[in-house]
Structure 1
């Protein structure tokens, strides 16, 4: 637990929640909720990968 980067844990949990929301949106047949969940997933994962690149360039990973 010493080398855990908690910011990446938060990003991964946000991405998982977005994936759950896509499933819920399909279940309730809500196009708007599905679109919002997909958009959130893309934004969260994109920011996570961008931060990972930044950490790698700074030698923190």
Structure 2
């Protein structure tokens, strides 16, 4: 049985919430909200992929 990597659960949840934020901002017609949530999504996903690569290189995955 595999162990849960909670940091990746956090990254996935944060990315999901950013995507929801984009939808809410579109509904509210807020360009600043759309841009902010899109930037947050890109940063969160980038950190997630970077962390996964680093952990794989260190043999933690």
TM-score normalized by structure 1?
Answer: 0.96
Runs of 4+ in 1 over 6 A off after TM superposition: none
1:37 partner SS: helix
Q: Distance in 1 between matches of 2:2 and 2:56?
A: 18
Number of aligned residues: 61
Unmatched segments (≥5 aa) in structure 2? none
Give the deviation of 1:25 after TM superposition. Answer: 0.4
Unmatched segments (≥5 aa) in structure 1? none
Supply the RMSD in Å over aligned alpha carbons: 1.1
User: Deviation per CA, 1:3-50, whole angstroms, max 9, x where unpaired?
Assistant: 000000000000000000000000000000000000000000000000
Q: Distance in 1 between matches of 2:42 and 2:25?
A: 16
Give the deviation of 1:2 after TM superposition. Answer: 5.6
